[in-house]
Structure formats: C-alpha cells, structure tokens
Amino acid sequence: MQTNKWLAGFRNPWFWVFAITTGLQVFRGSSKDTIIFSLCTVAVWISASGILGNRFGKKIEVNRAWTFWGVVFFAVALTVIDRHGYIHGVLVLAVLPVVLRLAWYTDTGPKDKPDPRMSRSRTLWTILCLGITAWEFMANILGQFAGSLKIYPTISVLIDPLLDSKYGQAAFVILWLALGIGLLRIWGKK
C-alpha cells in the first residue's frame, strides 16, 4: 500500500509541471528559482501521494474585513517597496504560509458536475495556459542558446519595463491580489 502512495505522487500532472519547470530553472542557472520550484515539486508530490493523510484540515472561512485590509496593506507595501529588493521578498514570504493554508485544504463532499459553459471555459483556459507555458519554455531555452533574452523574450522580459514604473507596479499588484482572491474564492457568497 505504501508503494502505491509513493507512485500516486508521480501520477499527478502538477508534479510533472513543477518538476519540468525545476529542470528549466537548473538549465537557466537560476539557483533561487530552482529552490522555489524544487520545493513546490516536493510539496505537490507530498500532497498527491497522500503520505501525510488528512492533515491539511478543512477550508477556512475568512473574515472579509481582515481580507480587505490585508489586501490593502500588501497592495500599498508591494507598490511602494522596490521590486526584487530584500524587503519585497520578505513580504512575499511572510504571506506565503497564509496563502498556502487558504489554498491547501482537504477537499471533501460531493462535486457538482460542471455545466457546458464551465467546461468550454475550462478548455479555453487550458489552451491559453498551455500556449503561454510553451512560449515561456521555448523562449527560455532558445534565449539561453542565443545568449540573449531580447531575441526570444519571455513574458517577464516583455512586461518588466511596465513594472519598473510605480503605476505599472501598482496596477500589477492590484491585479495579482485580485486574481489571488478570486482563485482562492475568499470573497464568495456568504
């Protein structure tokens, strides 16, 4: 039985997404990104394998006022503080355990069958995400071989000039936090 649990971790497609991305970071020579994606790969494998059992707990209902003020704080802080700085990294790492706890819970109960619109939407998002992923992977690999990030630009190379301005940084932070709230379904109907 234990062997099946170990194998289940490898059957999860997200394990392979993170493992391949970790390999790409090794290829790029980015030690920080290699560490980040390695930890994510291990975390996904542990979750998918079920070796920790049912220890993730149930979904937490979040207080809307705390959520609002937390988002306002991080929006202001991440906009005012210089990107890629030490304090910026500390703030992102400080919120990481909270986000992981909100996103990683034991999902129990019956699942609703998606209606056709949701199925079409899921298919379109999957195609979009796979296209962007293929672009990023190819741009990284071809850029490494060409010795230039400008010839085969990644998305970050394209949007960095916008994010280097305070207005662009503010818009991105607000969009990033809003998407996070949406994906975590924190602001759902009560």
Strands (DSSP E) found in 50-189:
none
Specify the pLDDT at position 189: 55
Specify the pLDDT at position 107: 66
Residue 144 neighbours by CB distance under 10 Å: 15
Give 10-residue mean pLDDT values along the chain (190 residues): 72 88 88 90 86 71 81 84 84 83 72 77 84 87 86 87 87 83 64
DSSP for 33-81, please give it. HHHHHHHHHHHHHHHHHTTT-STT-PPPPPPHHHHHHHHHHHHHHHHHS
Specify the pLDDT at position 184: 64
Specify the pLDDT at position 17: 87
Domains of the chain, by residue range, sit at: 1-53
Specify the pLDDT at position 29: 86
Asked if 167 and 187 touch (Cβ cutoff 8 Å), the reply is no
**Cα 20 to chain centroid, rounded:** 15
Asked if 140 and 157 touch (Cβ cutoff 8 Å), the reply is no
Asked if 150 and 136 touch (Cβ cutoff 8 Å), the reply is no
116 φ/ψ angles, rounded to the nearest 5 degrees = -60, -35
